[in-house]
Amino acid sequence: MLQTLGVGGAFSRRYGTTCGLLTLSSGDRWLIDCGRQAPDQLHDAGISWHDLAGQIVTHVHGDHVFGLEDFAFGRFYETRGEVGSIVSGGPQPHFVAHSAVREEVWSTLYASLRYHKLGDNPTAGTLNTYFHVCAPVAVEPPADNQWNHSESFEAGGTHLIARESEHVPGKPSCSLEISIDPASDRITWWSGDCTVDADYLASIEARTSIFFHDCTFVEYPGQVHGAFSLLRDLPESIRRKMVLMHHEDNIETHRAEAEALGFRVAMPGDIWDLVTGQRR
Ligand SMILES: [Zn+2]
Ligand SMILES: [Zn+2]
């Protein structure tokens, strides 16, 4: 099950920064990305940082990571219910990201998270101070960039692949293939932010329950998102499995056209059944 807490693009003021709340078969809840509005989105959904088992990050842009400091410090210093603060020996949330993305996450958070009052060195904080950083269980070697083409993780009993995708040229950014059934190769696909790779989407279509794809209706040179003008040319079998997210505030002016083509449009709070591929 996956709840789209926020579904807006980088400049959305109406739909919130795109953020997914993933509930695994174990019952563990993980967050996919943690943008600048994620702390408030979680609060509005009645969920605290202490309810989360882990965090997955696709890439470093403010609409995907600017809520992470709140998560880190919230768990580090605060105790809630049964879940103790990390300073008092409580559990760390897990953290999954491709290593090239993880390095950029730390570059972003370093100025605040390296400072804490424990031990002899007050600037010794690392990502490991706040999170249980998961190492990949398998990697594919570099292909288009110098970092691994993909890295695979075991997250709360679920297999997950972070695969490099084309967002801003030269920037580490990943899409996610999330296993939804350990007994099969079926997945849910989450784009993060990326341009449309029709061949790749076709190659995984048969085993994908839902494609969550970022989508823009704004055409500009050097497109870095899923341009609707390209998404609309995908085969109907893919369009019918695709949920458009990370969209602009004027999505309602495009909804009829998108739905006529078989797409569904994500809204904040929607809950998606990853097995059936249907909205609940
Ligand atoms: Zn974004
Ligand atoms: Zn981005």
Q: What's the pTM value of the predicted model, to 2 decimals?
A: 0.97
- Domain range list for the chain: 2-272
| CB-based contact 49:71 (threshold 8 Å) | yes
Each residue's pLDDT tens digit, 63-79: 999 999 999 999 999 99
At the fourth CATH level, the homologous superfamily of domain 2-272 is Ribonuclease Z/Hydroxyacylglutathione hydrolase-like (3.60.15.10)
Strand partners, 32: 20, 56
Structural element, H or E, at residue 56? strand 54-56
Q: How far apart are the first and last CA of the chain?
A: 9
pLDDT, position 122 = 82
> What's the CA-to-centroid distance between 119 and ligand 2, angstroms?
36
Which ligand sits nearest to residue 245's alpha carbon?
1
pLDDT of residue 185: 95
Residue 178: what pLDDT?
98
Cα distance between residue 100 and residue 94, in whole Å: 17
**225 C-alpha to center of ligand 1: Å?**
8
Distance (Å) from CA 15 to ligand 1 centroid: 13
Cβ-Cβ contacts under 8 Å for 226 (sequence gap 6 or more): 191, 194, 195, 196, 213, 214, 215, 216, 244, 246
Q: Which residues, by Cβ under 5 Å, contact ligand 2, an ion?
A: 61, 193
pLDDT digits (tens, 9 = 90+) for 6-65: 999 999 999 999 999 999 988 999 999 999 999 999 999 999 999 999 999 999 999 999
Gyration radius (Cα) of the chain, Å: 18
Give the pLDDT of residue 155.
87
**pLDDT score for 206:** 98
Task: Give the number of the ligand closest to the Cα of residue 37.
Answer: 1
**Ligand 2 centroid to residue 193 C-alpha, Å:** 5
Compute, in angstroms, the gap from residue 120 CA to the centroid of ligand 1.
39
The pLDDT tens digits along the chain (280 residues) read 999 999 999 999 999 999 999 999 889 999 999 999 999 999 999 999 999 999 999 999 999 999 999 999 999 999 999 999 999 999 999 999 999 999 999 999 999 999 988 878 888 899 999 999 999 999 999 998 999 999 999 988 899 999 999 999 999 999 999 999 888 999 999 999 999 999 999 999 999 999 999 999 999 999 999 999 999 999 999 999 999 999 999 999 999 999 999 999 999 999 999 999 999 9
Distance 46 CA to ligand 2 centre (A): 27
